[in-house]
Amino acid sequence: MSANIAGTWFINGQATNIQQTGDQLVFTNEKGQQSTGRFTSQTQIVADQWNNLRGTVNGSTISWANNSIWTRAQESTPNIAGTWYIGKLATNIAQNGTNLTFTNENGTMAQGRFLSSTEVIADGWGGLRGTLVNNSTIRWANGDSWTRSPTTAPTNPVLGPDWIASNGRIAHVSYNGNGSLIFTNAAGVQTTGFFLNSNQVYANGWNISGNLNSSTNPTRINWSNGSVWNSTNSPG
C-alpha cells in the first residue's frame, strides 16, 4: 500500500500541495502549476504533465529527478522587513510571510519572495536575486549591497559649471536637488547623470561614461565616445 503523501509540502519556503486518491495523485508546485501523477512503486512517484518527472518518497522528503526537493516542514525565514540602505540612501522591504515587496532608493517597487532562508528574489526587477549575509546585508546579483545601517560613501569631487568641449564650444555641468548631475553638451543637449565613483561619471541619456583626471580637483573629463571636456579653469 502506498504511503499517504497528501497535504502541504514546501520547496525553499514556498508551499506546494499533493492531493491523493489511492495511488492517483495531483501535484501543485510553488508556482501554482498542476500535474496529475501516480505512485509507480511504494516509494516512486511520477508527475505526468511535468515531462514524466519522477520523484522518490523518503518519509518527509520527496527528491525529484530535476534535483528539487519537497519537504513536509517549512524552512523558517528571517524577518527582513524595514528600512535598508544602499550607501546612505534608504530602501525598504515589506514582508508577509515569505512574500516580499522591495522598494529601492529611487522609490521603484518590486514584488518578490524568499527562495530559501538565505536567498531572496525580486521578480518585478527581472528576477534579480539577493543573498542574505548574517541578516544584516543583502548582496544583490547586480553588484549592489543593502545594509541595515547607512554606510558612508567616498566623497565625490565638485565639478565646475563651465567646460570647453573638443570643438571649442562651452559645455556645462550642474547639480539637481538630490545631488545627481546634469550635463549639457556644446549643442545644448541635456541629460541627467551621476558619479560612478570619485574618478568616473556617467551620462544617462547619452549612455557614455567619463573619466576624471583627478578625484579631488578634476579639470578634464575624457568621455568614452572620444570627446574631451576641459574645465575653464584648466590650463590646457
pLDDT single digits (tens) 168-220: 999 999 988 666 799 999 999 999 888 888 889 999 889 899 999 998 889 99
Tens of pLDDT along 119-130? 898 999 999 999
Residue with cell 516542514: 73
Average pLDDT, the chain: 89
Grid coordinates representing 163? 567646460
- Contact between 108 and 122 under an 8 Å Cβ cutoff? The reply is no
Instruction: Give the confidence band of 154 by pLDDT, cuts at 50, 70, 90.
Output: low
- Contact between 94 and 84 under an 8 Å Cβ cutoff? The reply is no
Give the contacts of 21 (CB within 8 A, at least 6 positions apart).
none
How far apart (Å, rounded) are the C-alpha atoms in residues 236 and 224? 20
- Whether the per-residue pLDDT at 31 is higher than 90: the answer is no
In total, the chain counts a number of residues equal to: 236
At 90 the pLDDT is: 87
- Whether the per-residue pLDDT at 76 is higher than 60: the answer is yes
